[in-house]
A and B are shown apart, each in its own frame.
Chain A
């Protein structure tokens, strides 16, 4: 029965928290109601109970009890949330931060944290600022195992569907961190097969993520900034060249927003100078404006756009 179990676990926590010295299994059985009579059955149940308490994050310590037997207790210092006091504006942003995870992977953890903070006397409401609604989505199945791997410092293996590859490939990674960049999740770490730093997109992970080593077996190099790693991998290279474009009046707003100069013409077309980094990629973008944008120079960009438009017609 779930209720009996709750009563027993509650008794066990109170008993071990109030214990001044380590209590042996026998002493625990004598003190806490609800354990079976036979020693073997008690022992099995006690083992399971200890595991459950540890899973809740209750710091169960072992030491030497009576008659040199192994004993147990919970140190109050290790158990208790240290003193924390928040001003009303601080409690408000805390409530807002918890809302970020609604329906996402750490929603339960955020709610659990708020519960403990409320128990510490903080009045953190989940709805204090109606004007703002922040969300972090974790729709990718790989998020949960990769967060656990990063948290517990465990290496992982997974199948990865790289862009432009027909079939997924197996990867072995020592994960250093997970990063959400512009709404998409990435994992950065040391790729054991390639023997270098790599970044993977979670939505391209195919199938399950498996742990390939024990907790604590991944060392994150000092000074690693996972955010920068992902930015370097995902970010566009800096623009180093300049294109001269004819842009139809009333069109090409996307282009004009990054323009260096924008001179109105007399014939219904404006002359726009815009920076770009790489002709191939920029030609794709120019082509998306169809007949509203024409490249004057450079020549390689002009040719790339022509090739691209011909490609659209084949």
Chain B
């Protein structure tokens, strides 16, 4: 079929639903992906009475010509028996879609278990945050979605997301408030790698929930760069009476490619782990993990700051040794010797 004009639609002689499509099948996905889209398309239009082609294409993530193909296919559905008839009638003249006859397809299909679970797990994860603003909306949405999903909602109870709750609720609330008002923050921030409390002014950009923790993404005025601040490491903060000014060159962190991205200037560190120190390979992103036999592992990791590796090595004691670079090895030995000297 090339467009609605050449249709074999029963009761032919009726005009097509609109301009002819380019006559090729939608390119997005498999036959069943497309079927799902087609089944959602009719109720989408019916529930809105009239809706623009462009808006609908955007909502379904297809091009306008793919959408026109879909509309033509729906319009062409015919059942031949017992009497031939066309269950769906629609038009998209002038770029506006209208469905005048939807037969039994005017409601979307129920949510499947995975679908209901994906949304409910996400909503419950958001409800874990101490920030008070969205809590009532989250509770209402969860209840409505559970009711609409019915049985499909049950499995989501077997999945839980437990955010690290050590970030004080008032820190989270103050950060949210500063963001809402577009104000600068003064942070007292703990840097564990150097065991230091640092002071700085930052201009908030986003609140990120990643790997079970809350981070403030902000333009750090001391570093003159975008930095992530773990909220549980904020020792104190003040919302300043100054508007936040995030410079144009500030680039949001790409949260989907992971928090730890090695850079060319990073130091390459080698560690040998005994059995009891193997957790290190689980906890830190390693470039390389080699089994040395007998439960021992060799790991290679890269870091911009060797301070935390020194602290890690001291924490591991005989369960793990840094073997390279040589100056870091010496630094660790010196520190351990100095620490021991305090006990004599």
Identify the A interface with B (CB < 8 A): 1-3, 5-7, 9-11, 13-15, 17-18, 27, 30-33, 52, 55-59, 76, 78-87, 89-90, 92-94, 96-103, 106-107, 109-110, 112-121, 130-137, 147, 150-151, 163-166, 176-184, 201, 203-204, 220, 226-227, 230-231, 250-254, 257, 284-285, 287-292, 294, 302, 305-306, 308-314
Contact = CB atoms under 8 A, between A and B. Distances in A.
Nearest to A91: B141
Contacts of B126: 93, 96-97, 100, 134
Nearest to B10: A33
B160 interface: yes
Contacts of B318: 308, 311-312, 314
Contact of B275 (A109, A150, A164): A164
Could you say which of B122, B217, B315, B319 has the most chain A C-beta atoms within 10 Å of its C-beta? B122
Sorted nearest first, the 5 A-B pairs with minimum C-beta distance are: A183-B212, A97-B122, A121-B47, A311-B318, A183-B211
Nearest to A303: B343
Given A94-B119, A136-B121, A287-B315, A113 B35 contact: no
Interface string B225-245: 000000000010000000000
Interface stretch (B11-19, B192-200, B263-271, B298-306): B192-200
A252 B195 contact: yes
Interface string B162-203: 111000000000000001100000000010100111000000
Contacts of B235: 253, 257
Contact of A131 (B32, B163, B195, B206): B206
19 contacts: A1-B25, A18-B79, A76-B104, A81-B107, A83-B148, A93-B123, A94-B119, A96-B126, A97-B120, A112-B115, A151-B158, A164-B295, A180-B160, A203-B282, A226-B158, A251-B195, A284-B317, A287-B339, A288-B315
A31 B80 contact: yes
Contacts of A33: 78, 80
A121 B158 CA distance: 29
Given A31-B79, A90-B140, A120-B107, 7 more contacts: A2-B30, A10-B39, A59-B110, A78-B110, A94-B145, A176-B158, A177-B160
Q: Is the interface of A mostly helix, strand, loop or mixed?
A: helix
Given A2-B30, A115-B40, A147 B316 contact: no
B141 A164 contact: no
Nearest to A284: B315
B222 interface: no
B108 A119 contact: yes
Interface in B257-301: 275-276, 278-279, 282, 293-295
A137 B212 CA distance: 9
B312 to A, nearest CB: 7
A13 B35 CA distance: 10
A231 B161 CA distance: 11
Contacts of B294: 166
B340 A309 contact: yes
A81 B315 contact: no
B156 to A, nearest CB: 9
B335 interface: yes
Could you say which of A102, A114, A119 has the most chain B C-beta atoms within 10 Å of its C-beta? A119
Nearest to A234: B162
A17 B36 CA distance: 15
B190 A254 contact: yes
A312 B256 contact: no
B210 interface: yes
Contact of B256 (A9, A135, A151, A166): A135
Given A81-B110, A252-B195, A135 B78 contact: no
A217 to B, nearest CB: 15
A178 B117 CA distance: 12
Nearest to A102: B256
B80 A309 contact: no
Contacts of A179: 159-162
Given A102-B256, A120-B108, A253-B190, A290 B35 contact: no
Could you say which of B110, B235, B293 has the most chain A C-beta atoms within 10 Å of its C-beta? B110
B248 interface: no
Interface string B75-109: 01111111000011000000000000001110111
B118 A106 contact: yes
A13 B39 contact: yes
Given A97-B119, A134-B209, A254-B195, A164 B278 contact: yes
